[in-house]
Amino acid sequence: MSVNIKPLADRVLIEPVAAEQTTASGIIIPDTAKEKPQKGKVVAVGSGKPDEPMTVKEGDVVLYGKYAGTEINVDGSDYLIMKESDILAIV
């Protein structure tokens, strides 16, 4: 998938992974009780700062803080844009 957004400096564009619909034991989770996803796929990355090169790349699956980033909607799809420092880990 191609998105016409190019993050600046140390920012990353992430497509959140959909929240789980059921628990491991098979209990269905209603929409009102679902947690915000904290995992997503990197769609685009900025060029980094002169003294700090980017460590994540397009296609990486990452974990990020629960309230990290800014939600945006592009062509009907939801994305998060955040600084690379808000990413906790590459999965």
Q: Domain segments of the chain: what residues? A: 11-19+31-90
Pair of tokens at residue 28: 């269905």
Which position has the token pair 């939801």?
A: 78
pTM: 0.81
69-89 pLDDT tens trace: 999 998 888 999 999 999 999
Q: Which two tokens stand for residue 81?
A: 């844009």
How is domain 11-19+31-90 classified at the architecture level of CATH?
A: Roll (2.30)
Looking at residue 31, what is its pLDDT?
64
Provide the pLDDT confidence category of residue 2 given band limits of 50, 70 and 90.
low
Task: Render 8-66 in DSSP notation, one character per residue.
Answer: -TTEEEEEEPPPPSB-TT-PBPPGGGPPPP-EEEEEEE---BTTB-----TT-EEEE-T
User: What pLDDT is attached to residue 66?
Assistant: 87
